[in-house]
Structure 1
């Protein structure tokens, strides 16, 4: 399968978002509102619907969950260790590291969902929704913790207000209770989900920034190496060790190789850190994802 060709429609939407933001009247002010719409409404609805539409067989997905949690925890551990590694500790600013560590392990949920649907259809959406349901709380804790002492509010409050955590937790509860969405509401929810994927990818492109990467090059290379080289390798090793079937292996590999979360720079800026620098890292991660995703998905299974 030609994964580069498979992924082209999604990355072309990212490119369209960048071009629209830079060269038309649809500037950053417009895309800030689009990103808020996707993050606070469209995307939570998609997550909720993806989780509740089919019964979750946790026994069948248990190995995938182990792999997903393994990728998440490995990313957090590697990112936290950077300032203590020989050869790096003297070249990494601790404050910049606190804001940028999240780039190494957070994942772009918009791209995750788009990739999973292309790779495995409805089953892929359900699998990635389960991974996101587990990964979002873990990754938000990992992202907020290093910055928490400088925040105006505690990290627990930040987590409880996260719309993705609320949507996934609610969806899991509804699914476990055996409740289902009424048939008459399904078309509306499906259209909201489709809109969230397209607008989320366009917003990811609109958020790309290149002008802030001159500083902290060692830190930038380190966190992006974890995100786009080490985590895909770890995901591949876990998929083989856990003997995941093809669709689960593909979803785990995509999960481990996608770009970092586009909201990383928003979190850093909101908590008083260097948001533009983190935005530059998000931009590079989005571009590197165009290489790491096809390479990861092409690894032998």
Structure 2
């Protein structure tokens, strides 16, 4: 029962944002400003802090890293392939494809601590460090192409990619900020998760999933069924130890990134469709993450 409630706080934050936007004076203009704050400041700071301060140990986790890249790369290929379906709207696919392969880093860190303690957190930090750039590059590509944005220009100014790379460089060079600056950045980053999830709720319009129900179902199937199954296969092929195997399967089964909605909104995509996908994915994750971990024990 405890595992089933793991993602309940995140879903409640989404519902809180929905209620505030619909039934109080904190309407859409307020949340549009909040989306910009999350996207350009809060999420980047959180990513930088998580990656720069983690003990990555790449030599001891090479096979786990390869497994994580294989999971995310497979998700990218499967999500992109859906564009070939007849009748799929280009803008809707460009906006929603990221849901099939992006993952919620905050839930990943919390889950890793519960599964494997401090060692699990270090393993997931490595997966985040190497997979976030791949996932964000793949998320920006269809949106930039469909919206007529310059792809390299969008990558060069994408705050999530830049903050991830900066965190990696700082980690590898052993750079440490003065204590006052580090504490300030940590407090800024802590605001990212609750405000980001509430922004998803504020933009929620589940009816938007009706715009392309088959595409929505396929993307959610990739995120919550195909990738965990592939993680089982990759874990076996790479001969991962039991602890790393559980981390890889949990990583593959995560709900999609809550910032997927913010990215779609900021790049002129079908944001309400993505908001619906993020909400359903978070709800599904409450059931599927413990289910896949239970299957792993057999």
Which TM bucket (shorter chain)?
A: 0.7 to 0.9
- Tell whether the 8 Å contact from 1:110 to 1:200 is kept in structure 2 after alignment: no
Deviates more, 1:247-256 or 1:162-171: 247-256
Match of 2:81 in 1: 81
Q: What displacement does 1:72 show?
A: 0.8
2:76 and 2:25 map into 1 onto residues whose CA distance is 39
Superposed counterparts of 1:33-48, under 5 Å: 33-48=33-48
Task: Decide whether aligned partners of structure 1 residues 2 and 194 sit closer, same or farther in structure 2, where only a CA change above 3 A counts.
Answer: same
How many angstroms apart in 2 are the aligned matches of 1:32 and 1:127? 35
Alignment of 1:132-171 (within 5 A): 132-171=128-167
How much does 1:67 deviate?
A: 1.2
- State whether residues 110 and 201 of structure 1, in contact with CA within 8 Å, keep that contact through their aligned partners in structure 2: no
The number of residues matched between the two structures is: 297
Distance 1:113 1:201 in 2: 16
| 1:3 corresponding residue in structure 2 | 3
* Aligned 1:214-229 pairs, distance under 5 A: 214-229=210-225
2:8 and 2:262 map into 1 onto residues whose CA distance is 27
Instruction: Identify if the C-alpha distance between structure 1 residues 6 and 109 changes in structure 2 by more than 3 Å, giving closer, same or farther.
Output: closer
Q: Distance in 1 between matches of 2:39 and 2:115?
A: 23
TM-score normalized by the length of structure 2: 0.84
Residue in 1 that maps onto 2:23: 23
Q: Distance in 1 between matches of 2:114 and 2:196?
A: 16
Please tell me whether the aligned partners of residues 48 and 166 of structure 2 are also in contact (alpha carbons under 8 angstroms). yes
TM-score, normalised by the number of residues in structure 1? 0.83
Residues 83-134 of structure 1: CA deviation (Å, up to 9, x unaligned) = 44xxxx3343445333332221122334334444554555444433332222
Q: CA deviation at 1:195?
A: 2.8
> C-alpha distance in 2, partners of 1:144/1:96?
14
Cα shift at 1:237: 2.9
Give 1:298's match in structure 2, choosing from 289, 294, 298.
294
Q: CA deviation at 1:296?
A: 2.6
The 10-residue stretch of structure 1 (191-200 or 161-170) with the greater mean CA deviation from structure 2: 191-200
The 8 Å contact of residues 39 and 263 in structure 2, kept in 1 or not, is answered as no
271, 274, 284: which one pairs with 1:275? 271
Q: Deviations over 1:180-235 (max 9, x none)?
A: 33445444344334333333333343343212122222212111111111112222
Q: Which residue of 1 aligns with 2:127?
A: 131
Instruction: Determine the C-alpha separation between the residues in 2 that align with 1:285 and 1:146.
Output: 21
